[in-house]
Structure 1
């Protein structure tokens, strides 16, 4: 076994001070909750969706190149030829917080439904012209309800 000499002989010890690091917006639960309420409001029949559909939209919102690809496929061919989506545990965490805050409820068949409070929250985001979610909002409105739940289940499961 080889040992390596410490290169700075004059230094007896090193100390590290923890410094707060900002959490990226995409990892903040409130950001995800806002996106989920927008998806339920603008992209889901009866403002209700399965975990699969919520994960699909979360995955879709991650990159602009992916958004362009999906929008093109929605127009010209099946979006479901992609064959896979990335499942994100932060969506599950955001759903737990949203249910606890009564923005979303869980139905008898394990789907997620927007509550009255959730509708009001989504409406505030949709009306806000200065929203940090302006790009996401425009994309979700353009897509509308062109991604049916049944087809997602059939093609991706």
Structure 2
């Protein structure tokens, strides 16, 4: 047992860059943009937020979603990712009163703090330029909750069979 005794232990703090996708404020900004630019009544389900967040994660995903919409939602659409980082950002956003949970299952941008945050993001022409452009191009009525439900039903039909 004496061999395991440690007389001194030290750590050296080193900076570790955190990718933007995992930074809470980046994810909260994305949530705010999605709710305001792409959701009726500035309200969305968790699945809808995950779809848009997944689409914004890479140009490939953005192109896949845009192509699916261009084809009038005809054909197969792959399963999109569910991100723990988005779930954590949603918890923080609701705790900080940036958005609210309504109906026990949807998130809504209805707080003064959230609307001010949205206006601040939109007023900066150098901030989240690609994300804002993509979300604006989709608009509020492109992907509805019923469309999301149809898309997720395809998962179970297609992926269970294969």
TM-score clears 0.5: yes
Within 5 A, what are the aligned runs for 1:2-151? 17-78=12-73, 81-114=76-109, 115-131=111-127, 133-145=128-140, 146-151=142-147
Unaligned ranges ≥5, structure 2: 1-9, 154-162
The residue matched to 1:84 in structure 2 has which SS?
Answer: coil
The residue matched to 2:108 in structure 1 has which SS?
Answer: strand
- Superposed displacement of residue 106, structure 1: 0.6
The TM-score with structure 1 as length reference comes to 0.83
Residues 63, 79 of structure 1: CA spacing in aligned structure 2 closer, same or farther, 3 A cutoff?
farther
Distance in 1 between residues matched to 2:130 and 2:18, nearest whole Å: 20
Distance in 2 between residues matched to 1:80 and 1:36, nearest whole Å: 27
Q: Deviations over 1:106-150 (max 9, x none)?
A: 11241101122211211211121121x111111110111211111
The TM-score with structure 2 as length reference comes to 0.81
Larger mean CA deviation between 40-49 and 122-131 belongs to 122-131
Distance in 1 between residues matched to 2:99 and 2:79, nearest whole Å: 26
Whichever of the two has the greater Rg, that structure is 1
- Superposed displacement of residue 74, structure 1: 0.9
The residue matched to 2:76 in structure 1 has which SS?
Answer: helix
- Superposed displacement of residue 17, structure 1: 4.1
Q: 2:150 pairs with 128, 133, 154, which one?
A: 154
Unaligned ranges ≥5, structure 1: 1-14
**CA RMSD, Structure 1 to Structure 2 (Å):** 1.8
The residue matched to 1:82 in structure 2 has which SS?
Answer: coil
Distance in 2 between residues matched to 1:57 and 1:134, nearest whole Å: 15
